[in-house]
Amino acid sequence: MPQKRLDPFVNAATTLDATVNPYVGMLREATASGALPLACGPTLAGLKGQWRQHIAAYHGLQTPAKRLIVEIGCYKGQTLLDLTKAFPDTAFIGIDITFKRVVTTAQRLTAHGVKNGFCAMANATLIDQLFAPDELDGCLIFFPDPWIRKAKQAKHRLVGPQFCERLYSRLAAAGFCWLKTDHLPYFERANEALAQASFSRLPASAPELLGSDFSSVFEQRFHSQQLPTFGSKWLKSEIN
Ligand SMILES: C[S@@+](CC[C@H](N)C(=O)[O-])C[C@H]1O[C@@H](n2cnc3c(N)ncnc32)[C@H](O)[C@@H]1O
């Protein structure tokens, strides 16, 4: 049951039946009690520009993290967990549009005692409403839904010209965007959109952005079926 609405500040959990989807009730309860590192709906509006402070305060830390990185489409949190463990001094936010995935991700972070992670249930299309200018140091988009069942569905793809411009405006000067997908036509279009938005592409030979490949669940699925995947890494600043 995804959050299809573009407006990230609408709380879909208030209108849906928790008996149909138990994760609706879990999200409602967790956000009201603060039991999980999870936010949705109107609360997100107040976090714009305040994410680092909020994540530190939620976890009882005195000092906000120096870096803030978002993973869009965090699924059930495996990559986010790997990232939080690899970089304890960086704050990470996982965003997803389904109740089950964000609740599962937040539960996973909590179960592992993670102090530098948080989740948001939101459609990331309007990323500029979720984050302030320059607030982000990086953005990972691994295997965004390619919308391929019908040709007209391609309009739902996240990584297009407008999204790339919005993301660019939210990244700090040295910020990055890391894209992975199995779908070559989407990959090519997304790369065009990133380049048009003034991102600079890192050469394939460049060192890993975060020191490691951080293979995702979908990536592992494709590789286990011997299917090819594609990746590109982009910087906001020009490469000298
Ligand atoms: C194909 S899965 C990939 C999951 C994970 N990144 C991986 O590589 O294993 C795409 C994920 O993106 C989420 N998603 C799709 N559209 C989104 C949007 N507009 N905003 C945030 N998340 C979205 C889906 O719910 C799903 O969890």
Chain segment 55-70, per-residue pLDDT in tens: 999 999 999 999 999 9
Atom 6 (ligand 1): residue with closest C-alpha?
Answer: 142
List residues with catalytic annotation. 145
Q: Is residue 4 scored above 70 in pLDDT?
A: no
Output the ligand 1 site: residues, CB below 6 A.
2, 72-73, 75, 95-98, 101, 123-125, 142-145, 158, 216-219
Distance 62 CA to ligand 1 centre (A): 32
Q: Mean of the per-residue pLDDT values for the chain?
A: 93
Return the closest-CA partner of residue 138 out of 179, 102, 96.
179
CATH number of 133-240: 3.40.50.150
74 vs 90: CA distance, rounded Å: 17
Taking the CA of residue 140 as reference, the ligand 1 atom at the shortest distance is 6
| Type of residue found at 203 | P
What tokens does 31 get?
A: 């956000």
Mean pLDDT of 28-36: 93
Chain segment 87-108, per-residue pLDDT in tens: 999 999 999 999 999 999 999 9
Could you tell which of 96, 100, 218, 225 is best to mutate to test the pocket of ligand 1, judged by most ligand atoms within 8 Å of the CB?
96
Distance 87 CA to ligand 1 centre (A): 22
Domain boundaries, the chain: 1-68+88-126, 133-240
Q: Strand, helix or coil at 194?
A: helix
| Type of residue found at 67 | R
Distance 135 CA to ligand 1 centre (A): 22
Q: Do strands 136-142 and 171-181 pair parallel, antiparallel, or not at all (unpaired)? A: parallel
What tokens does 48 get?
A: 């714009």
45 vs 41: CA distance, rounded Å: 8
What tokens does 166 get?
A: 């919005």
Least confident of 107-111, 153-157, 195-199, 221-225: 153-157
Atom 3 (ligand 1): residue with closest C-alpha?
Answer: 143
Could you tell which of 126, 129, 145 is best to mutate to test the pocket of ligand 1, judged by most ligand atoms within 8 Å of the CB?
145
